[in-house]
Amino acid sequence: MIKLILLLFPIFGFSLDFQGFIGTEYRIFDNENSIKRDSSKAIEANIELKHRQSEYSYATTADFLKDYSEDSRTYARINEFYFTKHFENSDFSLGRRVYFMGALEVLNPVDIVSRQNFGRDPLDDRYRIGSYMALYEHYGEDMQITLMGYATQRADEFGDSLSPYNVFGVELNKKIESQNSNNYPSVMLKVQGTLDIDYALDYAFGVSRGYDNQRTFTENLKQKQWLSTSAFTYNTLAYENTLYKLEARIADVDENSDANMDDYIYWGAGVEYTLAAVYESIDVGILTEYYNWIRLDNKYSSADSMMILMQNDVFLGLRVAINNTSSTEFVGGVIFDVDDTREQNYYLQAKGRIFDTLMLDIDFRHMIPSRDRVTMLSLIGEHTRATINIRYYF
């Protein structure tokens, strides 16, 4: 395979950086709804090609998943392919890439560019779909300015009718309807930097104009997206053994009687306190986060009807890092709804290397939904899931 790839890029010769993984995935579900699927098995692969010189670079990432139990999860895509021109104090990139923004652990209200791959796993936002963009980044001594134009034309997918995460009963229409045009570009301007006096403060402030990342659904289950103007910020402050985090975004949705969407604020704050070397090389982090979604008009869609997962919720968790040759790490905790504390979501993620080249990744979830309100969790139903990924890295 390497020889084949090199034949495709003869101009770059042996300076091509080639890496990735192949692996297997097995998931077990325990659902109240016996009609839904109770297990799935899949193979997966990720291949990254990178090349860099002083004046330019390029990168390509290919993702593949073959699910033998749920065909709607199967995909093969070039998730990233972009070219970057390097200048003295700036970069210009053009193409498709994954772009992340945020600081919090569980959810990122300001992460509005590259959408989560809901078809792969709606409960795990580590899987992202690349966005088409033109990106300019200027680097100052302590500040970076980013100007971006990007597209959000892709519809989200939630599996077939037997998937535990399809809350609609039938498969979603894979077309998306837009207030203007599907190719209408979004633009973003962001300023970020670091202040280091007696403590380290990383900050970012920005504005965006384009399609809002909150969507609605038509009667025939097409997704609809609406234009909005947003302002956002995300920040981390490190002081001694404590990391303070803040994310916030305010969205002014264009007036449109069909949208039924209010202007809103989505924000979250968190604290992570680290106990270093609790036992030999083991570090323990204590995490607390709070999220809130606030309607500013109170005329149209509520947080429940918009399927906002973290609308008035608290997360309490632990991060355990074993600084050994296996780089073993555990992150987990409980999320509970302040409005209805009976709605709870437990999760545990564990990962570590085996024999240097194998990575074991375990993800466990247990959800107890509200009995009194129609929320995303109540539509899924009481639910337990265990996912095991074993990956060979090269």
Q: Which of 26, 24, 21 is nearest to 45 (CA)?
A: 21
Determine the pLDDT at residue 14. Answer: 47
Residue 162 β-bridge partners: none
Q: Which of 24, 200, 234, 201 is nearest to 112 (CA)?
A: 234
Give all strands of the β-sheet with 176-178 in edge-to-edge order. 176-178, 223-225, 216-217
Whether the per-residue pLDDT at 75 is higher than 90: the answer is: yes
**Residue pLDDT, tens place only, 310-328:** 889 999 999 999 887 778 9
Residue 331 banded pLDDT, cuts 50, 70, 90: very high
Average pLDDT over residues 110-125: 91
Whether the per-residue pLDDT at 225 is higher than 90: the answer is: no
Determine the pLDDT at residue 307. Answer: 66
Residue 372 banded pLDDT, cuts 50, 70, 90: confident
Determine the pLDDT at residue 97. Answer: 95
Whether the per-residue pLDDT at 305 is higher than 50: the answer is: yes
- Separation of alpha carbons 348 and 330, rounded Å: 7
How large a percentage of the chain has pLDDT more than 70? 92
Ordered domains of the chain (ranges, CATH)? 17-393 (2.40.160.100)
- Separation of alpha carbons 163 and 39, rounded Å: 10
Determine the pLDDT at residue 7. Answer: 41
Whether the per-residue pLDDT at 13 is higher than 80: the answer is: no
Chain mean pLDDT for the chain = 87
Greatest CA separation found in the chain? 63
Determine the pLDDT at residue 1. Answer: 45
- Separation of alpha carbons 21 and 17, rounded Å: 14
Please indicate whether residue 139 or residue 381 has the higher confidence score (pLDDT).
Answer: 139
Whether the per-residue pLDDT at 12 is higher than 50: the answer is: no
Residue 3 banded pLDDT, cuts 50, 70, 90: very low
Determine the pLDDT at residue 10. Answer: 45
Please indicate whether residue 11 or residue 383 has the higher confidence score (pLDDT).
Answer: 383
**Residue pLDDT, tens place only, 260-302:** 778 899 999 999 999 988 888 899 999 999 999 988 877 766 6
**Residue pLDDT, tens place only, 193-220:** 998 777 889 999 999 999 998 887 777 7
Residue 8 banded pLDDT, cuts 50, 70, 90: very low
Whether the per-residue pLDDT at 107 is higher than 80: the answer is: yes
Contact 98, 130 (CB under 8 A): yes
364 burial via Cβ count (<10 Å: 0-12, 13-18, 19+) = middle
3 state SS of 177 = strand
DSSP character string of 213-233: S--EE-TT--EEE-EEEEEEE
Handedness of CA 213, 175, 303, 348 (dihedral sign): negative
- Separation of alpha carbons 61 and 82, rounded Å: 9
Q: Which of 228, 229, 236 is nearest to 200 (CA)?
A: 236
